[in-house]
Amino acid sequence: MRQRRTHLRTAVTAAVALGIGLSAAPAQARTPTRPPAPGIENCTATACHFDLPPGTYDVRVTLGGDLASSTAIGGETRRALLPETAAPAGGRTVRGFTVNVRTPEGEPLGAQGTPGLDLTLGGTAPALAGIRVTPARHARQILLVGDSTVCDQPGDPYSGWGQRLPQYLREGLSVANYADSGESTVSYLGNPLLWDAVRPLIRRGDLVLIQLAHNDKTTDGPAYRANLEALVAGVRERGGEPVLVTPVVRRWFNTDGTLDNDTALLVNGLGVDHPAVIRSVAADRDVPLIDLTARTKELVESLGVEGSKALYLHNEKRDNTHTSVHGATVYADLVREELLNLRLVPKGSVRVE
């Protein structure tokens, strides 16, 4: 018992030394002499900042206030960390999530960002009653290797599906998004700031989702296959589990309302059918496959020429490759479904409400 008390005291001391927030009690439960709970001091009505080193952190929030509220939480480089969550008037709702803090904060070759952990409070009626941030001791990582359709996009109106994925995951499962704009299998493997930097971070049991195709416009079939196989082997050598992801489609229609077989479905100028090669490598190397090409093709064609515009930046930028926040959120939800369908993550670790 004495040993247990010593361990507890040490843990609390460490948390205070890091400047980590402890959950706040509702205002009406405080006595006049009780100091405000650490953590809330680091927050305003719209944001929180914690001076923390790079790492992975569990965040437990208590939401609610005197009036009915609805709060969403984002953080770092425009990541969605918690979907809009309601609390009744006078009630409290507790939620948790795990967040990856790194430098650079967003894309590996992008801006450094702000040191520490930054959170933003949004939603139709945000109300934060308490917050507690602690180092994640046993979190499993989902690392993302990809391009601009996956990455943490730094500014509106762009958004990658990897940027929206964290909101669907519960505490104990984090997303470390190392997708970078403009990358192909060739450039990702060849740049020491990309694959050489990501590979040492892979731990036994981590998932590594690989979606690289959009920028392999001049990569021939044998080279593209070899590059995918090299990425798969590198993940497995570290004890991780590779997952191959076919690319999201481009919104490029034929006159009959179907998607174009080349531009939309990622067949490059050399005739390399990227999704077909990915499917073949997945089958040959016994790698789980998330066929996002098939899922997004079905969705885009079902919405039609007009309805599918909202998924992309057609109206804002005449861009039919990059997704809007809405589109990235829809596509991240497809990834969530496939993670469950393939039993790559336990059902209890994924947020469905």
Residue type, 132: R
Give the CATH number for residue 76: 2.60.120
91/101 same-domain check = yes
Query: What's the confidence (pLDDT) of residue 37?
Result: 36
**What gap in Å lies between CA 290 and CA 159, rounded to an integer?**
20
pLDDT of residue 11: 36
Same domain membership, residue 211 and residue 88:
no
pLDDT tens track for 141-200: 999 999 999 999 999 999 999 999 999 999 999 999 999 999 999 999 999 999 999 999
Are 288 and 235 contacting, i.e. CB atoms less than 8 angstroms apart? no
Same domain assignment for residues 131 and 170:
no
CATH code of residue 322: 3.40.50.1110
Q: Which of 136, 170, 197 is the last residue of a domain?
A: 136
* CA 18/CA 14 separation, integer angstroms: 6
Domain assignment present for residue 46? The answer is yes
Nearest residue to 157 (alpha-carbon basis) of 28, 41, 36, 328: 328
Do the beta carbons of residue 34 and residue 80 sit within 8 Å?
Answer: no
- Among candidate residues 46, 38, 20, the one with its CA nearest the CA of residue 117: 20
CA angle at 244 for the pair 238 and 247, rounded to the nearest 5°:
140
* 162/184 same-domain check: yes
Mind spelling out the 3-state secondary structure of 276-338? HHHHHHHHHCCCCEECHHHHHHHHHHHHHHHHHHHHEEHHHHCEEEEECHHHHHHHHHHHHHH
- Nearest Cα neighbor of 143 from 93, 201, 184 is 201
> Domain ends where: 70, 104, 136?
136
Position 36 scores a pLDDT of: 41
Q: Please check whether residues 163 and 60 belong to one and the same domain.
A: no
pLDDT at position 309 is 98
Largest CA distance in the chain: 76
- Same domain for 196 and 214: yes
Q: Are residues 154 and 284 in the same domain?
A: yes
Same domain, 127 and 195: no
Predicted TM-score (pTM) of this structure: 0.88
pLDDT of residue 353: 58
pLDDT < 50 positions in the chain: 1-38
In this structure, is residue 77 part of a structural domain?
Answer: yes
Look at residue 12 in the predicted model and tell me its pLDDT: 31
> Domain range for residue 240?
138-353
- For residues 208 and 282, membership in a common domain is answered with yes
Handedness of CA 49, 53, 55, 58 (dihedral sign): negative
Domain assignment of residue 5, yes or no: no
Q: Of the residues 88, 116, 136, which one is the last residue of a structural domain?
A: 136
Residues 304 and 345 placed together within one structural domain of the fold: yes
User: Structural domain tally of the chain?
Assistant: 2
Tell me, yes or no, whether 204 lies in a domain.
Answer: yes
Residues 94 and 176 in one domain: no
Q: Is 142 found in the same domain as 132?
A: no
